[in-house]
Amino acid sequence: MVVRKAVLPVAGWGTRFLPATKAMPKEMFPIIDKPVIQFIVEECLSANIENVIFVTGRHKRPIEHHFDINTDLEKHLEQCGKTDLLRNIMEISRLINPIYIRQKEQLGLGHAVLVAEPVVGYEPFVVALGDIIVRDNKNILERMMEVYNRFGKSVIAVFEVDRKDVSKYGIIYGRHIEKDIYIIDDLIEKPKPKEAPSNLAIVGRYLFTPRIFEKLKVTPPGKGGEIQLTDAIKLLIEDEAVYAIKIDAKVYDTGTPLGYIQTVLDFALHRDDLREDLILYLKQLLSSSIPQIDTV
């Protein structure tokens, strides 16, 4: 069965970024001039998934506006002759078929995915977290689809992290069956380095068979009273194989202040128009005395 739909959960509170996220979704934070969520939508489009289901909340309206057609702005850019910008903003709103559904209460990532069930229906679908950007030469969703097409089962993208960092991620334990492919035996959410069964961390890209919905419906609230997606995957593993594909990509977690700053810096260093001046600035900053806390 072809994968035609992606679910992007974007309803979370973003508490790690308060007060900035009181009225502005963290998924709309700019990575220089492009909001985080646009990177994820572009990733879906380049894997030929144009039906993008956003699971949103009451303070997430800017996301809807962003993917809408803004005829006034288009007219303005046309009149100014800013054709590159015009093409850019026209493309993203015309290629995507956005569907918005509300998660009325923020009951966790697992719950957010379950909210999308009436729109997804009984077919395989992708889940891409709204605050994780993946930079890879190959489209990782396409690679996940290849694995799904071979085995007909759910696939989770993982990447290698330093042992000391495992406690920031969901970690899998799996049997290696061929190059970069595993069958998952277990998953542990944010283990201590000593207790981690591997250093393979979940990226934030999943491809599920619709059976995940059955499991989400019977998943009891876990950590923080939230319905955890990892708990539902554990239940799924009891019934059918779940595969992992190891990717060799750069994964950016823009949902934490440090991760966000690192993302902006990294993307700026990859841009012709910013790279040189930024390197100069960073060199100056590091060779002079580093500002003290509270002096900025």
Which residues sit at the interface with ligand UTP, rule CB under 6 A? 9-16, 27, 55, 103, 106-109, 111-112, 129-131, 255
CA distance 236 to 210: 10
Name the residue nearer to ligand UTP (CB basis): 170 or 255. 255
* Cβ proximity to ligand UTP, 90 vs 107, nearer residue: 107
- For ligand UTP, which is the closer residue by CB, 107 or 268? 107
For the bound state, the minimum distance from the C-beta of residue 14 to ligand UTP, rounded and expressed in Å, comes to 4
Taking the C-alpha atoms of residue 177 and residue 151, their distance in angstroms, rounded to an integer, is: 12
H or E element in which residue 263 lies: helix 257-269
- CB nearer to ligand UTP: give 168 or 175: 168
Smallest distance, Å, CB 276 to ligand UTP? Answer: 33
**Which amino acid would we find at residue 108?**
G
In the complex, minimum distance from the CB of residue 113 to ligand UTP, in angstroms, rounded to a whole number: 8
Position of minimal CB gap to ligand UTP:
12
**For residues 171 and 187, what is the distance between their CA atoms, to the nearest angstrom?**
6
HSE of 73, CA atoms in CB hemisphere, 13 A: 12
Cβ closest to ligand UTP, residue 50 vs residue 189? 189
User: Other C-beta atoms within 10 Å of 211: how many?
Assistant: 17
CB 56 within 8 A of CB 11: yes
Q: Which two tokens stand for residue 184?
A: 């998952």
